[in-house]
Amino acid sequence: MARKIEIFDSTLRDGAQARGISYSLHDRLQMLALLDSLGVDYIEAGNPASNPKERQFFEEAATLPLRATLVAFGSTRRKDTEAPQDAGLAALLGAGTKAVAIFGKAWDLHATNVLCTTLEENLAMIRDTIRYLKAQGREVIFDAEHFFDGYAANPGYALLVLRAADEAGADTVVLCDTNGGTMPHALEAAVKAALGAVKCKLGIHTHNDSELAVANSLLAVNAGACHVQGTLLGYGERCGNARLTSVIAGLQLKMGYECIGENLARLYDIAREAAEITNLTFDETLPYVGRSAFAHKGGMHIDGLCKAHGSFEHIEPSLVGNQREYLLSEVAGKAAMAEKLKDSFPEAAQDREKVGLLMEKLKALENEGYSFEGAEGSFRLFVMKQLGLRKQKFSLVHFKVSDEPTNENTFGAYAVVKVDVDGEARMAAAEGNGPVNALDKALREALGNFYPQLRSVSLTDYKVRVLDTNAATAAKVRVVIESTDGKDFWRTVGVSTDVIAASLHALIDSIDHSLLGAEPISASAEAK
Amino acid sequence: MARKIEIFDSTLRDGAQARGISYSLHDRLQMLALLDSLGVDYIEAGNPASNPKERQFFEEAATLPLRATLVAFGSTRRKDTEAPQDAGLAALLGAGTKAVAIFGKAWDLHATNVLCTTLEENLAMIRDTIRYLKAQGREVIFDAEHFFDGYAANPGYALLVLRAADEAGADTVVLCDTNGGTMPHALEAAVKAALGAVKCKLGIHTHNDSELAVANSLLAVNAGACHVQGTLLGYGERCGNARLTSVIAGLQLKMGYECIGENLARLYDIAREAAEITNLTFDETLPYVGRSAFAHKGGMHIDGLCKAHGSFEHIEPSLVGNQREYLLSEVAGKAAMAEKLKDSFPEAAQDREKVGLLMEKLKALENEGYSFEGAEGSFRLFVMKQLGLRKQKFSLVHFKVSDEPTNENTFGAYAVVKVDVDGEARMAAAEGNGPVNALDKALREALGNFYPQLRSVSLTDYKVRVLDTNAATAAKVRVVIESTDGKDFWRTVGVSTDVIAASLHALIDSIDHSLLGAEPISASAEAK
């Protein structure tokens, strides 16, 4: 059987150090569930000492049925204190996780010039902290910060740090290339020296400042490490951390190790959902999970591929849930469309002419900025409309939104809508936290007279992305809305240069989707 | 003296295989001059047999005073023909370059299943082609396509291919990881075997499908290769080629080789110009040349850096023309605040009390959802306001925006604003592509009467981020706006549950920032 390598994801902790990332509580809980569904072994989710908001997160996370081990992160005790009196350690234990990760200095320069303490006290801080946390029943992962720089500067001391952690009872000692500057050969030699120094499990944690994070992770495992830390999409401070999508695929498909088993085939989808939660643009040239990763443009390559798939591809794309694409050919697009229709519209999927027509309409919408990736609700409505299967449940006769200050510190946004259902008109008005919220409330108010089930529908997510940043405030925006009726979730999309119009399109699709199969009652009957 | 490693750039040839890249003739000539100014040794600029337009490019390129060696690319002669009668080789020679790069098959599967010829004829194609090109006085670089896959499948034959090229007179034999799937250890072993097989120079050409292109290039040089092929920014088919910015910096700064000498300090600027020519968004997390490459967000990292620069940076940023940056966030501390104030507010930076006060106010704003990361303009205004240095240039007395459909397919957004400058009021109204665009136009219209310089200010970017997705359309949004007056750029931020209010805050900050130091003229004077 393949040797197991532990995967430790830090998207929620080290990943949050990246420029432009700022997770809400809801984002973090969503990401936690997503990472857990991928089958990683550890999820490092935050530093309880850094921020009072962390406590709420760990309380909510404790109620989730996770398969992975949840990890809270912190540092060793402060210098010249006792571990049981250390406020940071108290916060760390207060998170209530089964495992904790703590970092300590493995570079003598850091102990003397950053911590401003002695080399001996630095070792004592590490030893005391680990013994204390072990005595409290925690699994302890020790991050030897700057291990590789430390090993280059003072190898004897760097190894002493690892030994101190090992002897104090750490379950895993992790070698960190904190500055990301270590070259592959230097890294391999240092990993081998570390293996000789400790008896516990050895891990690797790399950064991408020299564009070597993935390579260094793979080389460390090849040298004997059995635990890899990184972030799913490589998010992290500066140039980021080791990208786990590439690490996992490399370890499992190329080097014969076991990481997440069959879940590997979900890598493509899960990577996209993670980017959605973070609201960062997905880099489509990413290895394994990018849309371009198996996209072929060169004529000779395409010809070669048609003769023998392995000839211009390093792996079969479906192994990571991706698919082959020929950029100059329409054939691939139609095949993908047929694939997409298969489940909900099996007849149309078989019909070459209908598939071709849908492709054409889809391309026209994509040229306008639409993207149905991650908006399955709108995609379904689009297909139904094109196939003549969509029955109109209501029409929006008119609307108006206004926004102006009401007094010194608040804005007054309100919306008026008029809808028509089977010839019966109804108006409604609502105030909101902003014009889109007002519009949402007014629409539900008006339509709730005909479709009372709409009253149990609510929006769970609202995302705005600017498509053409050159055009500044005149740019197109894409709005994606997620809705739920308590049982199911669906996402819908709208595109316009006007953020209100884009939101309205997505709102209408959302309502339409929740009314699939519904029949209206008379508004006047309901009113009685 | 440091050993010289030849740098071979293929941005214009292999780079053009990337999705979304399509160079005009003008783009190509600009890129050629740019790459030449960086000091690379070879510039591979196109395949003369692929397209009749190539001839014009090579004719114009021949008139440029290049320092680098210009290279035209092609394949070996076709099977069962004579080299002098081969149309592709005639086109290649027709380009008139001093050096040519040709590729041939080093994987037996490709010779038999893609070329559909014999292993012996494949060797003859390589030998004949190289002899013929050498007889025509060309420097010949032979790309052994799929060498690493070929070496894994049939090592004896793969080495026979290299020997055939060497014996026929190739100046350089290049080992290609065409599919990008080779693991570092396998690559090193194969490079060593190749070194034993040929007497000529050995090169490396890698692709990034396993996120190992840079690492594999560095490892190949470490094993003995002296010529590296790649593309400046990593552009290339699928996941791209080895990114030369990272390769060159790694070789020169970390491994002690010589590549482009002092031009390394221009890497940051040249990388950006290359992205501009290609018209692709620059990835700011790129190693060495990304704006985030030396941007620090973690409080402990920033504290460490202030004590010792080397402590959290793998190189001095100026070596590649980049610079250090401290991102302000809830995790950053007073040290970061003082560092950030140093240039524009040196006195306040020294004042511990003022720094503490600013940190406190900043945290309060951040709790509301503000983030000054990437919004230096608003940060400056915030500091000025807190320090009592901000003079109000105008006040917004009232505004109103409305949005409603005007006919079946368009929306009519308009805004009315009333501003006051030194007791003189002015109203203006404008239509727009959406309510924010309308507001922007109305504000500039009204204030342009007092500050005519506002008419040369324009917005260049507009970003919306939803902060608390739980609340869906009632969630807070953060709007970041980038503005320019043609010389400088500045970014401002606004936060509100109302997207219009958030945009308005950012717009007002943008206008305020452009008016720092400006004095109003009387609106009635301007009107005359």
Which residue of chain B has the CA closest to A150? Answer: B311
DSSP string, B165-187: HHHHT-SEEEEEETTS---HHHH
For chain B, say whether A214 makes contact (Cβ under 8 Å). Answer: yes
Q: How far apart are CA B362 and CA B254, in angstroms?
A: 39
Q: How far apart are CA B68 and CA B58, in angstroms?
A: 14
**A102 CA to chain B: closest CA distance, Å?**
14
Question: How would you label B102-134 residue by residue, b for 16+ Cβ within 10 Å and e otherwise?
Answer: bbbbbbbbbbeebbebeeeebbbbbbbbbbbbe
B16: left (phi over 0), alpha (psi -120 to 50) or beta: alpha
Mean pLDDT of chain B: 89
For A422-439, the pLDDT digits (tens) are: 999 999 999 888 888 899
For B384-442, the pLDDT digits (tens) are: 999 988 888 899 998 999 988 876 566 688 899 999 999 999 999 998 888 888 999 99
Question: Does A527 have pLDDT greater than 50?
Answer: no
For chain A, say whether B178 makes contact (Cβ under 8 Å). Answer: yes
**B404 CA to chain A: closest CA distance, Å?**
5
Q: Do B470 and A25 touch (CB under 8 A)?
A: yes
Range scoring the smallest mean pLDDT among A400-409, B150-159, B496-505? A400-409
For chain A, say whether B429 makes contact (Cβ under 8 Å). Answer: no
Mean pLDDT of chain A: 88
Count of CB atoms situated within 10 Å of the CB of A356: 14
Alpha carbon A428 to its chain centroid, in Å, reads 38
Which residue of chain B has the CA closest to A279? Answer: B465
For chain B, say whether A224 makes contact (Cβ under 8 Å). Answer: no
**pLDDT band for position A477 (50/70/90)?**
confident
Q: How far apart are CA A346 and CA A249, in angstroms?
A: 32
Top pLDDT among A460 and B273 is at B273
Compare CB distances from A24 to B215, B219, B470 and report the shortest one's residue.
Answer: B470
For chain A, say whether B475 makes contact (Cβ under 8 Å). Answer: yes
Phi and psi at B497, nearest 5°, equal -75, -15
Question: Does A467 have pLDDT greater than 50?
Answer: yes
Mean pLDDT in residue range A478-490: 83
For B484-517, the pLDDT digits (tens) are: 887 788 889 898 888 888 999 999 999 999 998 7
CB B228 within 8 A of CB B8: yes
Maximum mean pLDDT: which of A18-32, A125-139, A307-321, A394-408: A125-139
CB A381 within 8 A of CB A388: no
Compare CB distances from B371 to A22, A178, A413 and report the shortest one's residue.
Answer: A22
Top pLDDT among A332 and A422 is at A422
Q: What are A295's strand-pairing partners? A: A325
**B314 CA to chain A: closest CA distance, Å?**
5
For chain B, say whether A294 makes contact (Cβ under 8 Å). Answer: yes
- Three-class SS of residue B485? coil
Q: How far apart are CA B256 and CA B222, in angstroms?
A: 11
Mean pLDDT in residue range B12-16: 93
A57's enclosing H/E stretch is: helix A53-62
**A234 CA to chain B: closest CA distance, Å?**
10
Q: Do A437 and B399 touch (CB under 8 A)?
A: no
Q: How far apart are CA A458 and CA A483, in angstroms?
A: 6
Q: How far apart are CA A312 and CA A301, in angstroms?
A: 6
Q: How far apart are CA A457 and CA B504, in angstroms?
A: 31
**pLDDT band for position A305 (50/70/90)?**
low
Among B497, B479, B508, which residue's Cα sits nearest to residue B396?
B508
- Per CB-CB distance under 8 Å, the chain A contacts of B290 are 239
Question: How would you label B252-278 residue by residue, b for 16+ Cβ within 10 Å and e otherwise?
Answer: bbbbebebbeebbebbbebbebbbebb
Restricting to A residues 313-352, those with a Cβ less than 8 Å away from any Cβ of B are 313-315, 327
**B149 CA to chain A: closest CA distance, Å?**
9
- Per-residue model confidence (pLDDT) at position B64: 93
For chain A, say whether B412 makes contact (Cβ under 8 Å). Answer: no
Chain A interface test: which of B365, B498, B504 (most A C-beta within 10 Å): B498
What ipTM goes with this model?
A: 0.75
Compare CB distances from A301 to B237, B459, B467 and report the shortest one's residue.
Answer: B237
Burial of residue A135 (CB within 10 Å: 0-12, 13-18, 19+) is exposed
- Per-residue model confidence (pLDDT) at position B337: 81
For chain A, say whether B366 makes contact (Cβ under 8 Å). Answer: no
Q: What are A206's strand-pairing partners? A: A177
- Per-residue model confidence (pLDDT) at position B469: 47
**pLDDT band for position A298 (50/70/90)?**
low
Q: Who contacts B45 (Cβ-Cβ below 8 Å, separation ≥6)?
A: B12, B13, B28, B32, B57, B58, B61, B70, B71, B72
Chain A interface test: which of B177, B239, B255, B441 (most A C-beta within 10 Å): B239
Instruction: Report percent pLDDT > 70 for chain B.
Output: 92
For chain B, say whether A410 makes contact (Cβ under 8 Å). Answer: no
C-alpha angle A259-A230-B256 in degrees, rounded to nearest 5: 115
CB B446 within 8 A of CB B416: no
Alpha helices in A233-318 (DSSP H): 244-249, 267-278, 299-307
**pLDDT band for position A473 (50/70/90)?**
low
For A71-118, the pLDDT digits (tens) are: 999 999 999 899 999 999 999 999 999 999 999 999 999 999 889 999
Q: How far apart are CA A365 and CA A382, in angstroms?
A: 10
For B56-80, the pLDDT digits (tens) are: 899 999 999 999 999 999 999 999 8
- Per CB-CB distance under 8 Å, the chain A contacts of B462 are 466, 469, 472-473, 475
Alpha carbon A280 to its chain centroid, in Å, reads 9
For B438-497, the pLDDT digits (tens) are: 999 999 999 998 999 898 888 777 777 776 544 556 667 888 888 888 778 888 989 888
- Per CB-CB distance under 8 Å, the chain A contacts of B184 are 184, 215, 218-219, 222
DSSP string, B258-279: BSSGGGGGGHHHHHHHHHHHHT
Alpha carbon B235 to its chain centroid, in Å, reads 10
- Three-class SS of residue A388? coil
**B150 CA to chain A: closest CA distance, Å?**
11
- Per CB-CB distance under 8 Å, the chain A contacts of B481 are 472-473
A75: left (phi over 0), alpha (psi -120 to 50) or beta: beta
DSSP string, A32-50: HHHHHHHT-SEEEEE-TTT
Among A280, A197, A508, which residue's Cα sits nearest to residue A381?
A508
Which two tokens mark A407? 């007094």
Chain B interface test: which of A73, A238, A496 (most B C-beta within 10 Å): A238
**A347 CA to chain B: closest CA distance, Å?**
33
CB B44 within 8 A of CB B8: yes
